[in-house]
Amino acid sequence: MKLRFLTCPTIPGSALNRLKTLVFVLLMLCCAAVRSDESVGRTELPKLSEMPLPTAEALLRADLDDREFDWVVLKAGSPEDRRVVVVNPLDSRPDILGKQDAEYKKLEASRPQNQKEREARTKRLKTLRKLMFTLPGDLTEYAVPVEQVDQILYFEDLMLLVVDQLLEKADYRTSYELLLRVETELPGWEKSIPRFEKLLLSEAATRAAAGEIYAALALLDQVFQRNPQSAELPTRLGELVRPMISDAVGREDFRKARYLIDRVKRLFPQHEVAVAAQSELQTLSQNLLDKAAASGQQKLHAEAAALARRAEAVWPTTGNGRAAFTQLFARHQVLRVGINDPQGPFIHPAPLESDERLQELAQVSLFEPSSADELTYFRSGFFEVWDPSDLGREVVFTLRETKPSWQTQPLLTANQVAESIAQRIDIAHPLYSSRLASFVSEISVRSPSQLRIRFSRVPLSIESLLRFPATRRVQPAGKQAADASADGTTAVIATRFQQQAAAGNSTSWLRGVPEPDGLDSGKYHIAEIQEQRFDDRNRMIQAFNRGDIDYIPKLLPWEVDAFLAS
């Protein structure tokens, strides 16, 4: 028997600078037909139960300095007496013993063809029955029979054991760093997968307790990406999402409720929480749709459309419900417009784009421009024919007696048009137009649908001269008709939409002339315009992206590029 003394390397994580010298007893076993094989005896090797785990800092430093190590645990009479040999990183990670055993069985079942192959096979079989390793700081190769090896704790195993301790202390940052190092060395290792899952689930619970709900949801998404078959994930997800959905439904924030339901069903289509919440919202949506249908039968089309839109907001309709929603909403179409007009005092009272927009929305001129190239072309929703005579000094206007159902303005009579023109050529009237008065010399009404105007000089364009809405005198309460005439109070007769009572930042405009019942649902047009005022333009664009509004009157140049890019 031959003795050899070796110095064991410093074990990472120990408070001592060096451990005591370990004595390796190398036993030389003599056999009659085989050369002696070296094995590592154990006399003063440290016990596994007494070996402190390295700290996370020591492991990370060893990994950074390329000084990794493994623990080879040797068998003993009792588990408490098992000894540990600290060795340099072994090859064929992470299961060197399993790989050697598989190779041994495969080689043992092989049939050598000649003497040379038989000798090589015998030599390799002997080698596979030993675990070869080197010690830190020693280039000598040692061997231990695999029958004497209880287990091998690789450097990555030690990292995972430290991760278990850190997770108990809720030190997620260091745990994640260690797990990333393990993942880098051994991607998809079956031992690291449950640790990753435990880390993500534990941190998700901590974030949820702190009120960081969406951060917790993101962590649960990562759990699913790593292990879709996780047994704990559906329960954790349900516990997290159930109160969020209930709160959203209670506040009638159905968009958020649908988002949470979709997020759960994207991972688990049959999740009980998502299925129950979806069924509740679908029932509520159907009830609202039934109320909308009842209102539609009572000709309360605005109320029916509002209920139908609300039903669609609770849960999108499908099948017959979708057809009912389309019919109800088409009967009273609503355009929701976002407004972000400048507010406050102005240096100069220049005409604003918002004023022009409201004027066009509320008023219909006798003639309106339809197109322009070198000349401007006009159209009229009131006059069917206007024929100049006497070289343009006289024009006979024939008014329309019928109009398409989609037009919002009412029909006018010749007397109403004549009164509107008379107001603008009356120098005492607030609507007096010197330009118009310089042309018109005589107005006569031939019939309720025919009007004649005599000009003192030939106008260049009759249509541009009559670009104003029809108006009438209004008698204020408490005043006699003569006083109203002298006061000159007027109101516009021809309006596209009429403004309703404003509520907060919202203003509603209804059609001047409602469309008749009985038309095909595809032949109805916009019946109401709802303006929503926003103080912040970014919030208005956000509302458009979320579907709270349907239209933005004007986009800024950089906003156009942003919408095109999206």
Is 509 found in the same domain as 486?
no
Query: 466 lies in which domain range?
Result: 364-494
What pLDDT shows up at residue 352? 74
Instruction: List, in sequence order, every residue forming a beta bridge with 71; answer none if it has no partner.
Output: 86, 153
Host H or E run for residue 25: strand 22-29
CA proximity to 329, closest of 541, 83, 40, 525: 525
Is 524 found in the same domain as 463?
no
Residue 410 lies in a domain: yes
Instruction: List, in sequence order, every residue forming a beta bridge with 450; answer none if it has no partner.
Output: 398, 447
| Spacing of C-alpha 237 from chain mean position | 19
Is 43 found in the same domain as 11?
yes
Is 396 found in the same domain as 377?
yes
Which of 212, 230, 248 finishes a domain?
230
Helix pair angle (254-267, 213-226), 10° resolution: 20
Residue 359 lies in a domain: no
Instruction: List, in sequence order, every residue forming a beta bridge with 460; answer none if it has no partner.
Output: none
What pLDDT shows up at residue 179? 94
User: Starting from the edge strand earliest in sequence, which strands make up the sheet with 506-511, in order?
Assistant: 333-339, 526-533, 506-511, 497-499
Is 124 found in the same domain as 33?
yes
Is 527 found in the same domain as 436?
no
Residue 348 lies in a domain: no
> How far apart, in whole angstroms, are the C-alpha atoms of residue 334 and residue 525?
9
Is 111 found in the same domain as 144?
yes
**Beta strands per DSSP E along 76-212:** 83-87, 130-134, 141-145, 149-153
Which of 230, 251, 268 finishes a domain?
230
CA proximity to 324, closest of 293, 299, 365: 293
Is 132 found in the same domain as 12?
yes
Report the predicted TM-score, pTM, of the whole model to 2 decimal places: 0.70
Is 438 found in the same domain as 301?
no
Q: Which two tokens stand for residue 540?
A: 């208005």
Residue 355 lies in a domain: no
| Count of domains forming the chain | 5
Given the DSSP bridges, would you call strands 394-399 and 383-389 parallel, antiparallel or unpaired? antiparallel
Is 145 found in the same domain as 25?
yes
Helix pair angle (272-297, 301-314), 10° resolution: 170
Residue 357 lies in a domain: no
| pLDDT tens-place values along the chain, 566 residues long | 233 333 334 334 333 333 333 333 232 222 323 333 444 444 478 999 989 999 999 999 999 999 999 999 999 989 889 999 999 999 888 899 999 999 999 998 998 889 998 999 999 999 999 999 999 988 889 999 999 999 999 999 999 999 999 999 999 999 999 999 999 999 989 999 899 999 999 999 999 999 999 999 999 999 999 889 999 999 999 999 999 999 999 999 999 999 999 999 999 999 999 999 999 999 999 999 999 999 999 999 999 999 999 999 999 998 999 999 999 999 999 999 998 877 666 666 677 777 788 888 888 999 999 988 888 899 999 999 998 999 899 999 999 999 888 888 889 999 999 999 999 999 999 999 999 999 999 999 999 999 999 999 999 999 999 999 999 887 665 555 444 444 557 888 888 898 887 888 899 999 988 899 988 888 999 999 999 999 899 999 999 988 899 999 888 888 888 888 87
What pLDDT shows up at residue 346? 66
Is 371 found in the same domain as 432?
yes
CA 455, 461, 463, 465 torsion-angle sign: negative
Is 515 found in the same domain as 466?
no
Tokens 């030939």 found at? 458
Which of 153, 178, 202 finishes a domain?
153
> How far apart, in whole angstroms, are the C-alpha atoms of residue 98 and residue 245?
50
What type of residue is 417?
Answer: V
Asked if residues 135 and 87 have their Cβ atoms less than 8 Å apart, the reply is yes
Residue 124 lies in a domain: yes
Asked if residues 379 and 368 have their Cβ atoms less than 8 Å apart, the reply is yes
Residue 426, helix vs strand vs coil: coil
Residue 530 CB burial class (10 angstroms; 0-12, 13-18, ≥19): middle
315 φ, ψ (degrees, to nearest 5): -155, 130
